Structure 1
Amino acid sequence: MSEELPPPDPARLPALGDDPRWVREVPARAMIVRIFRAGGAHPTAWHEFRSFGPLDGRFDPHPLPVGEHEDAAVMYGVLERGPHTQSAADRPSAVGGAFAAALLEVFQAQRMIRLRDGLPTLAAFETTRPLRLLDLSDSDWVTVAGGNAAISSGDREHSRAWARAIAASYPELDGVVSASSLVPSARVVALWAGAADALPRHPTMLLPLGIDALLGVIDRIADRYSYLVL
Protein backbone atom coordinates (compact mmCIF):
# COMPACT_ATOMS: atom_id res chain seq x y z
CA MET A 1 0.00 0.00 0.00
CA SER A 2 1.39 3.39 -0.98
CA GLU A 3 1.88 6.03 1.68
CA GLU A 4 -0.67 8.84 1.75
CA LEU A 5 0.33 12.42 2.44
CA PRO A 6 -1.68 13.94 5.31
CA PRO A 7 -2.93 17.52 5.11
CA PRO A 8 -0.37 20.09 6.26
CA ASP A 9 -0.68 21.52 9.75
CA PRO A 10 0.78 25.06 9.65
CA ALA A 11 1.38 24.87 13.40
CA ARG A 12 3.83 21.99 12.85
CA LEU A 13 5.95 23.67 10.20
CA PRO A 14 9.24 24.31 11.99
CA ALA A 15 11.29 27.49 11.92
CA LEU A 16 13.88 27.10 9.18
CA GLY A 17 16.61 28.31 11.50
CA ASP A 18 16.19 25.16 13.59
CA ASP A 19 18.19 23.11 11.08
CA PRO A 20 20.34 24.67 8.32
CA ARG A 21 20.08 21.46 6.27
CA TRP A 22 16.42 22.11 5.50
CA VAL A 23 17.21 24.91 3.06
CA ARG A 24 19.33 24.02 0.07
CA GLU A 25 21.52 26.92 -1.01
CA VAL A 26 21.87 26.46 -4.76
CA PRO A 27 24.82 28.58 -5.90
CA ALA A 28 24.69 31.19 -8.62
CA ARG A 29 25.33 29.85 -12.14
CA ALA A 30 23.51 26.63 -11.36
CA MET A 31 22.05 25.16 -14.55
CA ILE A 32 18.30 24.58 -14.73
CA VAL A 33 16.70 22.68 -17.59
CA ARG A 34 13.04 22.96 -18.49
CA ILE A 35 10.63 22.18 -21.32
CA PHE A 36 7.88 24.66 -22.11
CA ARG A 37 5.33 25.08 -24.89
CA ALA A 38 6.14 28.03 -27.13
CA GLY A 39 3.06 27.57 -29.31
CA GLY A 40 -0.49 26.27 -29.23
CA ALA A 41 -3.47 27.74 -27.43
CA HIS A 42 -1.47 29.05 -24.48
CA PRO A 43 2.10 29.83 -25.63
CA THR A 44 4.68 30.85 -23.06
CA ALA A 45 8.25 32.14 -23.01
CA TRP A 46 11.26 30.33 -21.58
CA HIS A 47 11.48 32.75 -18.64
CA GLU A 48 7.75 33.01 -17.93
CA PHE A 49 6.30 32.11 -14.54
CA ARG A 50 2.75 30.74 -14.62
CA SER A 51 0.45 32.94 -12.55
CA PHE A 52 -2.75 31.09 -13.46
CA GLY A 53 -3.49 28.22 -11.13
CA PRO A 54 -3.39 26.01 -9.29
CA LEU A 55 -3.45 23.53 -12.18
CA ASP A 56 -1.92 20.04 -12.18
CA GLY A 57 1.62 20.95 -11.09
CA ARG A 58 2.78 19.19 -7.94
CA PHE A 59 4.02 22.32 -6.18
CA ASP A 60 1.73 25.04 -7.51
CA PRO A 61 1.60 27.60 -4.66
CA HIS A 62 -1.50 29.41 -5.96
CA PRO A 63 -4.33 29.83 -3.47
CA LEU A 64 -7.80 28.51 -4.30
CA PRO A 65 -9.97 29.08 -6.26
CA VAL A 66 -8.24 28.61 -9.61
CA GLY A 67 -7.47 31.93 -11.24
CA GLU A 68 -4.81 34.55 -11.84
CA HIS A 69 -2.50 34.96 -8.83
CA GLU A 70 0.40 37.22 -9.78
CA ASP A 71 2.07 36.86 -6.38
CA ALA A 72 1.92 33.06 -6.48
CA ALA A 73 3.43 32.24 -9.87
CA VAL A 74 5.51 29.12 -10.50
CA MET A 75 8.12 27.78 -12.92
CA TYR A 76 9.22 24.13 -12.98
CA GLY A 77 12.60 22.83 -14.06
CA VAL A 78 15.23 20.19 -13.33
CA LEU A 79 18.48 21.04 -11.61
CA GLU A 80 21.54 19.91 -13.55
CA ARG A 81 23.50 18.08 -10.89
CA GLY A 82 27.08 19.05 -11.64
CA PRO A 83 30.29 19.10 -9.60
CA HIS A 84 28.86 21.66 -7.17
CA THR A 85 26.08 19.30 -6.07
CA GLN A 86 27.53 15.79 -6.19
CA SER A 87 30.69 13.79 -6.76
CA ALA A 88 31.77 12.82 -10.25
CA ALA A 89 31.02 9.17 -9.50
CA ASP A 90 27.38 10.02 -8.82
CA ARG A 91 26.66 12.22 -11.83
CA PRO A 92 23.82 10.93 -14.01
CA SER A 93 24.51 9.63 -17.48
CA ALA A 94 23.57 11.63 -20.55
CA VAL A 95 20.35 9.60 -20.89
CA GLY A 96 19.52 9.89 -17.20
CA GLY A 97 20.33 13.56 -16.78
CA ALA A 98 18.30 16.72 -16.39
CA PHE A 99 16.99 16.74 -19.97
CA ALA A 100 15.72 13.18 -19.65
CA ALA A 101 14.00 13.94 -16.35
CA ALA A 102 12.40 17.09 -17.78
CA LEU A 103 11.20 15.19 -20.84
CA LEU A 104 9.68 12.39 -18.77
CA GLU A 105 8.02 14.81 -16.34
CA VAL A 106 6.37 16.89 -19.09
CA PHE A 107 5.04 13.95 -21.11
CA GLN A 108 4.28 11.48 -18.31
CA ALA A 109 0.46 11.60 -18.54
CA GLN A 110 0.28 9.53 -21.74
CA ARG A 111 3.94 8.49 -22.03
CA MET A 112 3.97 9.98 -25.52
CA ILE A 113 6.48 12.64 -26.51
CA ARG A 114 4.63 14.85 -28.99
CA LEU A 115 7.32 16.86 -30.71
CA ARG A 116 5.15 19.45 -32.43
CA ASP A 117 1.92 19.86 -30.47
CA GLY A 118 2.31 23.25 -28.82
CA LEU A 119 5.89 23.57 -30.07
CA PRO A 120 7.58 22.04 -26.99
CA THR A 121 10.95 23.68 -26.51
CA LEU A 122 14.02 22.87 -24.44
CA ALA A 123 15.48 25.73 -22.40
CA ALA A 124 18.57 25.68 -20.22
CA PHE A 125 19.73 28.67 -18.21
CA GLU A 126 22.17 29.57 -15.46
CA THR A 127 20.88 31.36 -12.38
CA THR A 128 22.31 34.81 -11.69
CA ARG A 129 22.18 34.58 -7.90
CA PRO A 130 21.99 31.85 -5.25
CA LEU A 131 18.61 30.23 -4.66
CA ARG A 132 17.19 29.25 -1.27
CA LEU A 133 14.97 26.20 -1.76
CA LEU A 134 13.20 24.09 0.84
CA ASP A 135 14.72 20.62 0.51
CA LEU A 136 11.92 18.06 0.48
CA SER A 137 13.91 14.94 -0.44
CA ASP A 138 17.47 15.25 0.88
CA SER A 139 16.57 16.45 4.35
CA ASP A 140 14.13 15.38 7.06
CA TRP A 141 12.08 18.60 6.93
CA VAL A 142 8.93 16.92 5.63
CA THR A 143 8.99 14.32 8.43
CA VAL A 144 9.52 16.95 11.12
CA ALA A 145 6.63 18.92 9.61
CA GLY A 146 4.29 15.92 9.84
CA GLY A 147 4.40 14.72 6.25
CA ASN A 148 6.17 11.95 4.36
CA ALA A 149 7.85 11.06 1.06
CA ALA A 150 4.51 11.02 -0.78
CA ILE A 151 4.92 14.79 -1.11
CA SER A 152 7.23 14.00 -4.06
CA SER A 153 5.41 11.04 -5.57
CA GLY A 154 1.84 10.82 -4.28
CA ASP A 155 -1.41 12.59 -5.10
CA ARG A 156 -0.56 15.99 -6.59
CA GLU A 157 -3.56 17.72 -5.06
CA HIS A 158 -2.24 16.81 -1.60
CA SER A 159 1.22 18.09 -2.52
CA ARG A 160 -0.28 21.38 -3.70
CA ALA A 161 -1.87 21.88 -0.29
CA TRP A 162 1.61 21.55 1.21
CA ALA A 163 3.03 23.95 -1.38
CA ARG A 164 0.49 26.57 -0.34
CA ALA A 165 1.31 26.07 3.34
CA ILE A 166 5.07 26.24 2.67
CA ALA A 167 4.77 29.41 0.59
CA ALA A 168 2.64 31.07 3.26
CA SER A 169 4.93 30.05 6.14
CA TYR A 170 8.27 30.78 4.46
CA PRO A 171 7.84 33.77 2.12
CA GLU A 172 11.61 34.30 2.09
CA LEU A 173 12.18 31.09 0.07
CA ASP A 174 12.62 30.96 -3.70
CA GLY A 175 10.70 27.68 -3.94
CA VAL A 176 11.25 23.98 -3.26
CA VAL A 177 13.50 21.20 -4.55
CA SER A 178 12.32 17.62 -4.62
CA ALA A 179 13.13 14.21 -6.08
CA SER A 180 11.47 13.55 -9.42
CA SER A 181 8.63 11.05 -9.07
CA LEU A 182 9.86 9.38 -12.29
CA VAL A 183 13.66 9.61 -11.98
CA PRO A 184 14.33 9.62 -8.22
CA SER A 185 17.98 10.60 -8.71
CA ALA A 186 16.93 13.83 -10.48
CA ARG A 187 16.00 16.97 -8.55
CA VAL A 188 13.00 18.98 -9.71
CA VAL A 189 12.75 22.63 -8.71
CA ALA A 190 9.56 24.62 -8.38
CA LEU A 191 10.61 28.25 -8.48
CA TRP A 192 8.11 30.75 -7.13
CA ALA A 193 7.48 34.38 -8.07
CA GLY A 194 10.27 35.76 -5.87
CA ALA A 195 12.87 33.82 -7.87
CA ALA A 196 12.17 35.75 -11.09
CA ASP A 197 15.18 38.01 -10.49
CA ALA A 198 17.47 34.94 -10.45
CA LEU A 199 16.91 34.31 -14.17
CA PRO A 200 19.39 35.62 -16.76
CA ARG A 201 18.44 37.93 -19.60
CA HIS A 202 19.12 35.16 -22.13
CA PRO A 203 19.08 31.35 -21.84
CA THR A 204 22.14 29.20 -22.44
CA MET A 205 20.14 26.95 -24.75
CA LEU A 206 16.79 27.33 -26.50
CA LEU A 207 15.89 24.50 -28.92
CA PRO A 208 12.56 23.19 -30.23
CA LEU A 209 12.32 19.47 -29.46
CA GLY A 210 11.53 18.64 -33.08
CA ILE A 211 14.90 19.69 -34.53
CA ASP A 212 17.22 17.04 -35.95
CA ALA A 213 19.95 17.77 -33.39
CA LEU A 214 17.73 16.51 -30.54
CA LEU A 215 15.92 13.61 -32.21
CA GLY A 216 18.63 11.03 -31.55
CA VAL A 217 18.81 11.90 -27.85
CA ILE A 218 15.03 11.92 -27.53
CA ASP A 219 14.76 8.53 -29.22
CA ARG A 220 17.30 7.03 -26.80
CA ILE A 221 15.46 8.45 -23.79
CA ALA A 222 12.10 7.22 -25.12
CA ASP A 223 13.49 3.76 -25.76
CA ARG A 224 15.02 3.52 -22.29
CA TYR A 225 11.82 4.54 -20.51
CA SER A 226 9.25 3.01 -22.92
CA TYR A 227 7.77 6.27 -24.16
CA LEU A 228 6.44 6.80 -27.68
CA VAL A 229 7.75 9.61 -29.89
CA LEU A 230 5.16 11.21 -32.18
Structure 2
Amino acid sequence: MSEQLPAPDPARFPALDADPSWVLSVPEGTLIARIFRAGGTHPVAWHEFRTFGPLDGRFDPHPLPVGEHEGAGVLYGVLERGRGGGVADGGALGGAFAAALLEVFQAQRMIRLRDGSPTLAAFEVTRPLRLLDLSDSDWIAVAGGNSAISSGDRERSRVWARAIAQRYPELDGVVSASSLVPDARVVALWAGAADALPRYPAALLPLGRDELIGVIDRIADRYGYLVL
Protein backbone atom coordinates (compact mmCIF):
# COMPACT_ATOMS: atom_id res chain seq x y z
CA MET A 1 0.00 0.00 0.00
CA SER A 2 1.45 3.36 -1.03
CA GLU A 3 2.18 6.00 1.56
CA GLN A 4 -0.48 8.69 1.92
CA LEU A 5 0.19 12.32 2.65
CA PRO A 6 -1.71 13.53 5.74
CA ALA A 7 -3.42 16.89 5.90
CA PRO A 8 -0.98 19.68 6.79
CA ASP A 9 -0.92 21.14 10.28
CA PRO A 10 0.64 24.61 9.91
CA ALA A 11 1.21 24.70 13.67
CA ARG A 12 3.92 22.07 13.08
CA PHE A 13 5.66 24.09 10.36
CA PRO A 14 8.98 25.17 11.91
CA ALA A 15 10.62 28.56 11.58
CA LEU A 16 12.94 28.28 8.60
CA ASP A 17 15.89 29.90 10.35
CA ALA A 18 16.04 26.92 12.75
CA ASP A 19 17.80 24.78 10.12
CA PRO A 20 19.51 26.27 7.04
CA SER A 21 19.20 22.95 5.16
CA TRP A 22 15.44 23.38 4.80
CA VAL A 23 15.81 26.17 2.24
CA LEU A 24 17.70 25.57 -0.98
CA SER A 25 19.49 28.73 -2.09
CA VAL A 26 19.65 28.66 -5.88
CA PRO A 27 22.47 30.94 -7.06
CA GLU A 28 22.02 33.73 -9.57
CA GLY A 29 22.76 32.41 -13.05
CA THR A 30 21.38 28.91 -12.42
CA LEU A 31 19.67 27.45 -15.48
CA ILE A 32 16.04 26.33 -15.35
CA ALA A 33 14.37 24.46 -18.22
CA ARG A 34 10.65 24.30 -18.83
CA ILE A 35 8.27 23.18 -21.56
CA PHE A 36 5.21 25.31 -22.17
CA ARG A 37 2.49 25.52 -24.80
CA ALA A 38 2.89 28.59 -26.96
CA GLY A 39 -0.26 27.88 -28.99
CA GLY A 40 -3.58 26.09 -28.79
CA THR A 41 -6.58 27.04 -26.68
CA HIS A 42 -4.63 28.59 -23.80
CA PRO A 43 -1.26 29.83 -25.12
CA VAL A 44 1.23 31.28 -22.66
CA ALA A 45 4.57 33.09 -22.83
CA TRP A 46 7.80 31.40 -21.72
CA HIS A 47 7.99 33.60 -18.60
CA GLU A 48 4.28 33.63 -17.74
CA PHE A 49 3.11 32.61 -14.28
CA ARG A 50 -0.25 30.83 -14.36
CA THR A 51 -2.67 32.70 -12.10
CA PHE A 52 -5.68 30.53 -12.98
CA GLY A 53 -5.97 27.56 -10.67
CA PRO A 54 -5.53 25.40 -8.84
CA LEU A 55 -5.39 22.91 -11.72
CA ASP A 56 -3.48 19.61 -11.88
CA GLY A 57 -0.05 20.97 -10.96
CA ARG A 58 1.40 19.33 -7.86
CA PHE A 59 2.40 22.57 -6.14
CA ASP A 60 -0.21 25.06 -7.35
CA PRO A 61 -0.51 27.60 -4.47
CA HIS A 62 -3.85 29.03 -5.64
CA PRO A 63 -6.66 29.10 -3.08
CA LEU A 64 -9.99 27.43 -3.78
CA PRO A 65 -12.29 27.71 -5.64
CA VAL A 66 -10.69 27.22 -9.04
CA GLY A 67 -10.47 30.53 -10.83
CA GLU A 68 -8.28 33.52 -11.54
CA HIS A 69 -6.21 34.40 -8.47
CA GLU A 70 -4.06 37.46 -9.00
CA GLY A 71 -0.88 37.19 -6.96
CA ALA A 72 -1.01 33.39 -6.67
CA GLY A 73 0.81 32.43 -9.88
CA VAL A 74 2.98 29.38 -10.52
CA LEU A 75 5.65 28.47 -13.09
CA TYR A 76 7.09 24.95 -13.21
CA GLY A 77 10.56 24.00 -14.41
CA VAL A 78 13.52 21.69 -13.84
CA LEU A 79 16.82 22.77 -12.30
CA GLU A 80 20.14 22.32 -14.03
CA ARG A 81 22.16 19.90 -11.88
CA GLY A 82 25.42 19.57 -13.82
CA ARG A 83 27.99 21.61 -15.67
CA GLY A 84 28.39 22.32 -19.35
CA GLY A 85 26.76 20.76 -22.38
CA GLY A 86 23.41 21.36 -23.99
CA VAL A 87 20.34 19.50 -25.16
CA ALA A 88 21.85 17.72 -28.14
CA ASP A 89 24.98 16.43 -26.38
CA GLY A 90 23.22 15.31 -23.21
CA GLY A 91 24.88 17.83 -20.91
CA ALA A 92 23.28 19.72 -18.02
CA LEU A 93 20.48 21.18 -20.09
CA GLY A 94 20.01 17.80 -21.75
CA GLY A 95 19.19 16.20 -18.38
CA ALA A 96 16.85 18.99 -17.37
CA PHE A 97 15.17 18.80 -20.78
CA ALA A 98 14.60 15.06 -20.44
CA ALA A 99 12.98 15.46 -17.02
CA ALA A 100 10.83 18.37 -18.22
CA LEU A 101 9.72 16.37 -21.26
CA LEU A 102 8.71 13.35 -19.17
CA GLU A 103 6.88 15.49 -16.62
CA VAL A 104 4.85 17.40 -19.21
CA PHE A 105 3.77 14.37 -21.25
CA GLN A 106 3.45 11.77 -18.49
CA ALA A 107 -0.37 11.47 -18.50
CA GLN A 108 -0.55 9.53 -21.80
CA ARG A 109 3.18 8.89 -22.31
CA MET A 110 2.84 10.47 -25.74
CA ILE A 111 5.07 13.36 -26.79
CA ARG A 112 2.94 15.40 -29.17
CA LEU A 113 5.32 17.69 -30.99
CA ARG A 114 2.78 20.08 -32.46
CA ASP A 115 -0.42 20.05 -30.40
CA GLY A 116 -0.43 23.44 -28.68
CA SER A 117 3.04 24.30 -30.04
CA PRO A 118 5.02 22.82 -27.11
CA THR A 119 8.22 24.80 -26.70
CA LEU A 120 11.40 24.39 -24.67
CA ALA A 121 12.54 27.46 -22.77
CA ALA A 122 15.77 27.66 -20.77
CA PHE A 123 16.60 30.69 -18.68
CA GLU A 124 19.11 31.79 -16.07
CA VAL A 125 17.73 33.34 -12.90
CA THR A 126 18.86 36.92 -12.29
CA ARG A 127 18.94 36.74 -8.50
CA PRO A 128 19.24 33.97 -5.90
CA LEU A 129 16.09 31.97 -5.23
CA ARG A 130 14.96 30.66 -1.84
CA LEU A 131 13.08 27.38 -2.30
CA LEU A 132 11.68 25.11 0.40
CA ASP A 133 13.51 21.80 -0.07
CA LEU A 134 11.00 18.95 0.05
CA SER A 135 13.30 16.08 -0.98
CA ASP A 136 16.89 16.75 0.09
CA SER A 137 16.12 17.97 3.61
CA ASP A 138 14.00 16.63 6.47
CA TRP A 139 11.60 19.60 6.51
CA ILE A 140 8.64 17.50 5.37
CA ALA A 141 9.17 14.98 8.22
CA VAL A 142 9.54 17.74 10.81
CA ALA A 143 6.35 19.34 9.51
CA GLY A 144 4.39 16.08 9.87
CA GLY A 145 4.31 14.96 6.24
CA ASN A 146 6.15 12.39 4.16
CA SER A 147 7.67 11.76 0.73
CA ALA A 148 4.24 11.35 -0.88
CA ILE A 149 4.23 15.13 -1.26
CA SER A 150 6.53 14.59 -4.28
CA SER A 151 5.05 11.40 -5.70
CA GLY A 152 1.57 10.78 -4.29
CA ASP A 153 -1.87 12.23 -4.88
CA ARG A 154 -1.49 15.69 -6.40
CA GLU A 155 -4.58 17.13 -4.76
CA ARG A 156 -3.11 16.38 -1.33
CA SER A 157 0.17 17.98 -2.38
CA ARG A 158 -1.69 21.12 -3.47
CA VAL A 159 -3.23 21.42 0.00
CA TRP A 160 0.29 21.42 1.40
CA ALA A 161 1.45 23.92 -1.23
CA ARG A 162 -1.27 26.36 -0.16
CA ALA A 163 -0.36 25.94 3.49
CA ILE A 164 3.37 26.38 2.77
CA ALA A 165 2.78 29.53 0.71
CA GLN A 166 0.68 31.04 3.49
CA ARG A 167 3.12 30.11 6.26
CA TYR A 168 6.27 31.24 4.42
CA PRO A 169 5.40 34.18 2.14
CA GLU A 170 9.11 35.03 1.88
CA LEU A 171 9.82 31.90 -0.18
CA ASP A 172 10.13 31.92 -3.98
CA GLY A 173 8.56 28.47 -4.20
CA VAL A 174 9.46 24.84 -3.57
CA VAL A 175 11.84 22.24 -5.02
CA SER A 176 11.27 18.49 -5.00
CA ALA A 177 12.40 15.28 -6.64
CA SER A 178 10.68 14.44 -9.90
CA SER A 179 8.24 11.56 -9.45
CA LEU A 180 9.52 10.16 -12.78
CA VAL A 181 13.27 10.84 -12.68
CA PRO A 182 14.24 10.74 -8.98
CA ASP A 183 17.60 12.48 -9.44
CA ALA A 184 15.98 15.44 -11.25
CA ARG A 185 14.76 18.41 -9.24
CA VAL A 186 11.50 20.08 -10.20
CA VAL A 187 10.85 23.65 -9.11
CA ALA A 188 7.52 25.36 -8.64
CA LEU A 189 8.20 29.08 -8.67
CA TRP A 190 5.49 31.23 -7.13
CA ALA A 191 4.47 34.77 -8.01
CA GLY A 192 7.13 36.41 -5.84
CA ALA A 193 9.84 34.89 -8.04
CA ALA A 194 8.72 36.78 -11.15
CA ASP A 195 11.47 39.37 -10.69
CA ALA A 196 14.11 36.61 -10.83
CA LEU A 197 13.39 35.82 -14.48
CA PRO A 198 15.53 37.46 -17.16
CA ARG A 199 14.20 39.68 -19.89
CA TYR A 200 15.15 37.11 -22.52
CA PRO A 201 15.59 33.32 -22.27
CA ALA A 202 18.89 31.58 -23.01
CA ALA A 203 17.05 29.22 -25.38
CA LEU A 204 13.58 29.13 -26.89
CA LEU A 205 12.97 26.17 -29.22
CA PRO A 206 9.71 24.59 -30.46
CA LEU A 207 9.88 20.84 -29.85
CA GLY A 208 9.31 20.19 -33.55
CA ARG A 209 12.66 21.79 -34.49
CA ASP A 210 15.01 19.48 -36.37
CA GLU A 211 17.81 19.91 -33.83
CA LEU A 212 15.59 18.53 -31.05
CA ILE A 213 14.03 15.56 -32.84
CA GLY A 214 17.01 13.25 -32.34
CA VAL A 215 17.30 13.81 -28.59
CA ILE A 216 13.51 13.60 -28.16
CA ASP A 217 13.53 10.24 -29.95
CA ARG A 218 16.32 8.97 -27.67
CA ILE A 219 14.49 10.09 -24.53
CA ALA A 220 11.22 8.56 -25.73
CA ASP A 221 12.93 5.27 -26.55
CA ARG A 222 14.65 5.10 -23.17
CA TYR A 223 11.48 5.75 -21.16
CA GLY A 224 8.90 4.06 -23.36
CA TYR A 225 7.13 7.17 -24.62
CA LEU A 226 5.55 7.52 -28.06
CA VAL A 227 6.47 10.49 -30.26
CA LEU A 228 3.67 11.88 -32.44
Q: Give the TM-score category using the shorter length.
A: over 0.9
SS in 2 for 1:32: strand
User: What letter is aligned with 1:193?
Assistant: A
The answer to whether residue 197 in structure 2 is matched with residue 182 in structure 1 is: no
SS in 2 for 1:182: coil
Q: In structure 2, what is the Cα distance between the partners aligned to 1:127 and 1:95?
A: 14
Q: In structure 2, what is the Cα distance between the partners aligned to 1:33 and 1:116?
A: 19
User: What letter is aligned with 1:202?
Assistant: Y
Alignment-derived partner of residue 28 in structure 1: 28
Deviation of the 1:93 alpha carbon? 6.1
Alignment-derived partner of residue 88 in structure 1: none
Q: In structure 2, what is the Cα distance between the partners aligned to 1:17 and 1:30?
A: 23
SS in 2 for 1:75: strand
Alignment-derived partner of residue 64 in structure 2: 64
User: What letter is aligned with 2:5?
Assistant: L
Deviation of the 1:182 alpha carbon? 0.2
User: What letter is aligned with 1:149?
Assistant: S
Matches within 5 A, 1:208-223: 208-223=206-221
SS in 2 for 1:70: coil
The answer to whether residue 121 in structure 2 is matched with residue 123 in structure 1 is: yes
Measured against aligned partners, the alpha-carbon deviations of 1:12-57 in whole angstroms (never above 9, x if no partner) come to 1111011010000000000000000000000000000000000000
Alignment-derived partner of residue 203 in structure 2: 205
Matches within 5 A, 1:1-230: 1-83=1-83, 97-230=95-228
Q: In structure 1, what is the Cα distance between the partners aligned to 2:124 and 2:28?
A: 7
Q: In structure 1, what is the Cα distance between the partners aligned to 2:185 and 2:155?
A: 20
Number of residue-to-residue matches in the alignment? 223
Deviation of the 1:71 alpha carbon? 1.1
Does the 8 A contact of 1:95 with 1:221 survive in 2?
no
Alignment-derived partner of residue 87 in structure 2: none
User: What letter is aligned with 2:29?
Assistant: R
User: What letter is aligned with 1:173?
Assistant: L
Q: In structure 2, what is the Cα distance between the partners aligned to 1:136 and 1:36?
A: 24
Please tell me the root mean square deviation across aligned C-alpha atoms, in Å. 1.4
Q: Runs of 5+ in structure 1 lacking a partner?
A: 84-91
* Percent identity (aligned): 82
TM, length-normalised to structure 1: 0.95
Does the 8 A contact of 2:82 with 2:92 survive in 1?
no
Q: In structure 2, what is the Cα distance between the partners aligned to 1:58 and 1:147?
A: 15
User: What letter is aligned with 1:143?
Assistant: A
Q: In structure 2, what is the Cα distance between the partners aligned to 1:27 and 1:19?
A: 19
SS in 2 for 1:124: strand
Q: Structure 1 residues 11, 149: closer, same or farther in 2, change over 3 A?
A: same
Deviation of the 1:126 alpha carbon? 0.2
Deviation of the 1:82 alpha carbon? 2.5
Does the 8 A contact of 1:95 with 1:217 survive in 2?
no
Q: Structure 1 residues 27, 41: closer, same or farther in 2, change over 3 A?
A: same
Measured against aligned partners, the alpha-carbon deviations of 1:68-105 in whole angstroms (never above 9, x if no partner) come to 1111100000001125xxxxxxxx86797100000000
Q: In structure 2, what is the Cα distance between the partners aligned to 1:16 and 1:95?
A: 30
Q: Runs of 5+ in structure 2 lacking a partner?
A: 84-89
User: What letter is aligned with 1:201?
Assistant: R
Does the 8 A contact of 1:95 with 1:220 survive in 2?
no
Does the 8 A contact of 2:32 with 2:123 survive in 1?
yes
User: What letter is aligned with 1:10?
Assistant: P
Alignment-derived partner of residue 86 in structure 2: none
SS in 2 for 1:178: strand
